[in-house]
Amino acid sequence: MASAPDIERLYDNHAFALFAFLLNLLRHEADVQDVMQEIFVKLTKRPSLLADVRDERGFLLRLGHNLAIDLMRRRGTRERNYEELALQSSALFAESGDPDEQTFRQKLAQALAELPAEQRSVVHLKLWENMTFEAIADALEISPNTAASRYRYGIDKLRERLRPIYDEIQ
Amino acid sequence: MNDDFENHLRSQPMREVPPHWRSRILSAAQTEPRRPRWLEWLWPAPQAWAVLGAAWVLILAFYLATPDDPASGRSYAMTAESYGALEREQLMMAKLLGSSDEGEAPAAVPVAPKPRSERECKQLAG
ipTM of the complex: 0.85
Of A4, A37, A45, the CB nearest to B25: A37
Report yes or no: A72 and A122 within 8 Å, Cβ to Cβ. no
Minimal C-alpha gap between A158 and chain B (Å)? 10
Strand partners, A93: B14
Residues B41-62 have a mean pLDDT of 85
In b/e form, how buried is each residue of B12-29, taking b as 16+ CB within 10 angstroms?
bebbebeeebeeebbebb
> What separation in angstroms does the CA of B70 have from each of B67, B73, B77, B82?
8, 5, 11, 18
Better-scored residue on pLDDT, B68 or A13: A13
Contacts of A15 (CB under 8 A, 6+ apart): A36, B17, B21, B22, B25
Of A24, A29, A40, the CB nearest to B29: A40
Q: Which residues of A touch B16 (CB under 8 A)?
A: 16, 19, 94
Of A11, A91, A162, the CB nearest to B22: A11
CB contact A158 to B (< 8 Å): yes
User: Per-residue confidence of chain A (170 residues) as pLDDT tens digits?
Assistant: 455 558 999 999 999 999 999 999 988 888 899 999 999 999 988 888 888 888 899 999 999 999 999 988 887 755 555 446 545 554 789 988 888 889 999 999 999 999 999 999 999 999 999 999 999 999 999 999 999 999 999 999 999 999 988 888 87
**Which of 15-44 (A) contact B at CB < 8 A?**
15-16, 19-20, 23-24, 29, 33, 36-37, 40-41, 43-44
Q: Which residues of B touch A27 (CB under 8 A)?
A: none
Identify residue A31 by its one-letter amino acid code.
D
d(CA A23, CA A17): 10
SS3 B70: helix
Report the predicted TM-score, pTM, of the whole model to 2 decimal places.
0.67
Q: Which residues of A touch B5 (CB under 8 A)?
A: 155, 159, 162, 166
d(CA B29, CA A44): 6
Minimal C-alpha gap between A54 and chain B (Å)? 21
d(CA A137, CA A143): 5
